[in-house]
Amino acid sequence: MGLTLHIIDAFTAEAFRGNPAAVCVMEGPMPDLRMQEIAAEMNLSETAFVLQGNEGFTLRWFTPKAEVDLCGHATLAAAHALWDIGVITESETAVFHTKSGILTVDRDGEWVNMDFPAEPVESVNAPKELIEALGLIPRYVGRNRMDYLVEVDSEATVRSLQPDFQLLKSLQSRGVIVTSAAEQRGEGASYDFVSRAFFPGIGVNEDPVTGSAHCALAPYWGRRLRSDELTGYQASERGGYVRVQMRGDRVLLSGQAVTVLRGKLAE
């Protein structure tokens, strides 16, 4: 019969926008090598592997080249797939056991709310490779256990950035998040801050919309903009919106999702 795979666009209400993830709802355990091979074949920024257990689901995420510890858009996609195919009802909470602890996901109408750990950054000296790769002098450089976070002078700078991916790959980090305050904020504005995220070291030069990056962006911009509830826009070519709400040492990430494809993997 083959495994059923779902391709779901996350952090968007429109097909072919946001960040696509593949989701494989497994019937039993699968070797790590097989999961990595499937992720490489899917060739998306993340493929999620979900296995039902006694107290929720085991969830793992693979890029085309490596397993990662935390991924927002593929978690959103995994929960969306479980609701979509009726493994759990839309009123049930999806409980995922992951390398970053237990993550819970709830549905609120067309929006999906994910309870994630906050990943605040601490100020660091910028490596020269980072400065050279971005070709600019940052306003701020911080780092958490996964990524560098770089604030730049304007939204226009974020949008026009053309980094040197080979230099970024040489950094000892998962990736680099570049961000600024939104050009227009306040009443009528659709977002408060803008970002882009680059992960060439794990096979993803630019990620379309990165939920886990907002685990760092939420506490950073929450302090800067003095608000616990904000909306971020990730200004990749596909683009997508992430609502964030700080809750102590957790972040509620909210987004929408659209199923674009279901198919069978021949075996």
User: What digits encode the pLDDT tens for the residues 23-72?
Assistant: 999 999 999 999 999 999 999 999 999 999 989 999 999 999 999 999 99
Q: How far apart are CA 206 and CA 215, in angstroms?
A: 18
Whole-prediction pTM value?
0.92
Instruction: Kindly report, residue by residue over 68-77, the tens digit of the pLDDT.
Output: 999 999 999 9
Neighbours of 113 (CB within 10 A): 18
Q: Map residue 33 onto helix, strand or coil.
A: helix
Do 139 and 157 lie in one domain? The reply is yes
Among 14, 41, 46, 55, which one carries the catalytic annotation? 46
Provide, rounded to the nearest whole percent, the portion of the chain with pLDDT above 90.
95
Strand partners of residue 245: 229, 252
Do 98 and 44 lie in one domain? The reply is yes
- 234-256 in b/e burial notation, b at 16+ Cβ within 10 A? bbbebbbbbbbbbeeeebbbbbb
Do 45 and 71 lie in one domain? The reply is yes
How far does the chain reach from its first CA to its final CA, in angstroms?
Answer: 8
Q: Which residues form the domain of 58?
A: 3-117+254-265
Q: How far apart are CA 1 and CA 10, in angstroms?
A: 27
Instruction: Kindly report, residue by residue over 106-144, the tens digit of the pLDDT.
Output: 999 999 999 999 999 999 999 999 999 999 999 999 999
Do 78 and 152 lie in one domain? The reply is no
With 0-12 / 13-18 / 19 or more C-beta atoms within 10 angstroms meaning exposed / middle / buried, residue 115 is middle
Do 72 and 126 lie in one domain? The reply is no
Do 157 and 67 lie in one domain? The reply is no
Do 109 and 209 lie in one domain? The reply is no
Nearest CA-CA partner of 99 in 136, 132, 77, 74: 74
Task: Write down the pLDDT at residue 266.
Answer: 82
Close Cβ partners of 245 (under 8 Å, ≥ 6 residues apart): 218, 228, 229, 251, 252, 254
> How many separate domains does the chain show?
2
- 49: domain CATH number is 3.10.310.10
pLDDT class of 162 with cuts at 50, 70, 90:
very high
Task: Write down the pLDDT at residue 221.
Answer: 98
Do 131 and 104 lie in one domain? The reply is no
Task: Write down the pLDDT at residue 220.
Answer: 98
Task: Write down the pLDDT at residue 189.
Answer: 76
- Does 1 score more than 70 pLDDT? no
The question of whether 129 is a catalytic residue gets the answer: no
Do 177 and 81 lie in one domain? The reply is no
pLDDT class of 185 with cuts at 50, 70, 90:
confident
